[in-house]
Amino acid sequence: MKGYLNYMRESNIKFWDNLIDHFEKFKYRPKYIILFYLDYPTLKIRKLFKNKLINLHPSILPAFKGFDVDYQTEHIKPKIVGSTVEIVRHRMDNGLILAQSADTYNPKDNFKDVRHSIYLQQISLLLQLIRWIEKDLIVIEDDFCYIKDSKYNSTNPFFSPNLDKDIIEEIYG
Would you state the pLDDT for residue 74? 76
3-state secondary structure of 120: helix
Given a cut of 90, is residue 64 above it in pLDDT?
Answer: no
Whether the CB-CB separation of 160 and 99 falls below 8 Å is answered with yes
124, pLDDT greater than 90: yes
Query: Which secondary structure element, helix H or strand E, spans residue 54, and what is its range?
Result: strand 53-57
Does the domain at 31-172 match CATH 3.40.50.170? Answer given as yes
161: cis peptide before it, omega within 30°?
A: yes
Give residue-wise pLDDT tens across range 6-37. 666 777 788 888 888 999 999 998 999 999 86
**DSSP label of 162:** P
How far is C-alpha 65 from the geometric centre of its chain's CA atoms?
12
Distance, in Å, from the CA atom of 163 to the CA atom of 160, rounded to the nearest integer, reads: 8
Question: Residue 164 has what DSSP assignment?
Answer: P
Sign of torsion, CA 83 85 89 95? Answer: negative
Whether 169 has a pLDDT exceeding 80, the answer reads yes
Find the DSSP H helices in 26-164.
Answer: 43-48, 69-76, 111-134
Threshold 0.75, pTM exceeds? yes
CA torsion sign for 134, 136, 138, 140 is positive
